[in-house]
Amino acid sequence: MIIDPQHHNGVGDENKNKMNKLNYHVAARLALAGIIIVLLHLVIACAEVFAEVPRTASQITIIGNRLMVALRQEDGVLPAARPYIIKGLSWAAATKAPHYGPNPYAPEEEVSYGFFFNWPGREPQGHELFCYWFALQYKKYYAADIPLMKKMNVNTVRVYSDFGEEGESDLRILDELYKHGIMVIMTVAASKKDLENNRYLEVVNMYKDHPAILMWSLGNEWNLDRNKYYGYETVSEAALATQNAALKIKEIDTLHPVSSSLGDRFIDEVKQNTIAAILKECPAVDIWGLNIYRGKSFRNLFQQWKELSDKPVYISEFGTDSFNTKEYKCVNEFQAVDCSGIKDEVLQADCIIVLWDELTKNLSAVDKDKICLGGLVHEFNDSLWKAGSYHVNLGGIVDYEDPDQRDCYQKYNTQGFVLIGGHPDDVANEEYFGVVDAQRKPKKIFYVLKEYYEKLKSLEQ
């Protein structure tokens, strides 16, 4: 067959033009479809960001040894309550202390922060500045911290203070927690001053209708001699104040349990200091939290509790740090200085998972005859401000005149507490407890717990 090249080329050009037009229309439609998909994603993302969080509480009840939770849905619907496993973290957010900061009573004035020292005539005193700064750190870090917690499959955090009393701006942190499926154990009073000025009642009133609130908490290890709400003379006085505060909270909020967190003091020479005595003095407390550091086992903890109380308990702090101390010197009876060793994320992860395995065997959500509601690994982030701070009983362990140590509240320090048998290396290196470091980089335990908490979901079904 003879083909006329000219005729063939003409037909080819015509077909080519048609194909080009077709390709153009197809490409245009694909581009339009792509734009529509992107816009839909943006709309969905915006809807999630600006979605209204209900201002009606979830339903929290205690049935036997179980914590029953009906989480309020975004449309206001309250589903059937289900047994709840507390699986999460303690969260303080505070990471590095600044050299200077605003005076809480005159924000335009800048005052010395750092170690937050008290001294005669200082106004405000260092402890007031510390409390002010500490609470503000939640606002600074929540946007970064909460998505990481969600990624880790956390469902509960315990915070050591409220988020403030400025209305909607402070509720925003709870809103973000709610959107990420995380409930809150909120400490509403941590000192004698908090308990006696009744500020905690204002806090409860402000937050009680938020669906992210799981329960209220009073104090942290207030039964230990170095604490006692930082003002009471005896543990018995602190217990009476706890009982009175729990009763007052219940007068204004019947929707949430009242809890309180204790240190590990089952045995003491003074009977009134023991947990057994405290339980008798504080019947208004519904749920107890225990901060437990007994090394790589809880040992006989759950049997000890069962012999004292029929109320449910949760582990409000447990775990270990990621610094493996090889050598140290003990000063002032309990402080560890001159600590040398290595970072050891494997040691931290192995210890915590062994403890979680023990804890899982005692979960009331799995077996109604058990007494434990769950646990909170201590803590979310590394805290570089602790060494040298009298506010956490680590004052005096640094040389405040040494230029290399003068600003140690902004960098890692290995000092801590000596606790023989309480940690694999017998030392709590206080600035290394985080599941993420100071820059929010996840450690090994972050990923190990992410997997473990995912497995626990199946036990709640």
Is the pLDDT reported for residue 42 higher than 50? no
For 176-209, write each residue's pLDDT tens digit.
999 999 999 999 999 999 999 999 999 999 999 9
* Alpha carbon distance, N-terminus to C-terminus of the chain: 77
Measured in residues, the chain has a length of 461
SS3 state at 3: coil
For 90-127, write each residue's pLDDT tens digit.
999 999 999 999 999 999 999 999 999 999 999 999 99
The string of DSSP letters for 340-364 reads: EEEE-HHHHHHHHHHHHHHHHTTBT
d(CA 150, CA 153): 5
Query: H or E element: which one contains 308?
Result: helix 301-308
Q: Do 98 and 372 form a contact (C-beta atoms < 8 A)? A: no
Is the pLDDT reported for residue 218 higher than 70? yes
| Mean pLDDT (whole number) for 56-84 | 97
pLDDT of residue 49: 45
Query: H or E element: which one contains 457?
Result: helix 444-457
Matching residue, tokens 């449910």: 312
For 71-93, write each residue's pLDDT tens digit.
999 999 999 999 999 999 999 99
pLDDT of residue 51: 61
Around Cβ 27, how many Cβ atoms within 10 Å? 10
d(CA 108, CA 92): 26
For 133-183, write each residue's pLDDT tens digit.
999 999 999 999 999 999 999 999 999 999 998 778 789 999 999 999 999
Tokens of 196: 């006696």
pLDDT of residue 395: 95
Closest Cα to residue 97, out of 132, 123, 58? Answer: 132
Tokens of 60: 């929290």
For 358-392, write each residue's pLDDT tens digit.
999 999 999 999 999 999 999 999 999 999 999 99
d(CA 21, CA 250): 74
pLDDT of residue 52: 86
Is the pLDDT reported for residue 4 higher than 50? no
Q: Do 77 and 54 form a contact (C-beta atoms < 8 A)? A: no
| Mean pLDDT (whole number) for 258-275 | 97
CA atoms within 13 A on the CB side of 126: 15
Question: What residues contact 47, with CB distance under 8 A and at least 6 apart?
Answer: none
**Number of helical H runs and strand E runs in the chain:** 11, 17
Phi-psi region for residue 366, left (φ > 0), alpha (ψ -120 to 50) or beta?
alpha
d(CA 106, CA 394): 29
Model confidence at 460, pLDDT cuts 50, 70, 90, reads confident
Closest Cα to residue 304, out of 376, 384, 372, 255? Answer: 372
Q: Do 171 and 179 form a contact (C-beta atoms < 8 A)? A: no
d(CA 154, CA 28): 44
Q: Do 324 and 344 form a contact (C-beta atoms < 8 A)? A: yes
Phi-psi region for residue 447, left (φ > 0), alpha (ψ -120 to 50) or beta?
alpha
Segment among 54-63, 64-73, 400-409 with least mean pLDDT: 400-409
Q: Do 398 and 408 form a contact (C-beta atoms < 8 A)? A: yes
Tokens of 454: 């995912």
Strands (DSSP E) contained in 178-322 are: 183-189, 213-220, 258-263, 287-291, 313-318
Model confidence at 14, pLDDT cuts 50, 70, 90, reads low
Around Cβ 95, how many Cβ atoms within 10 Å? 20
pLDDT-above-90 percentage for the chain: 85
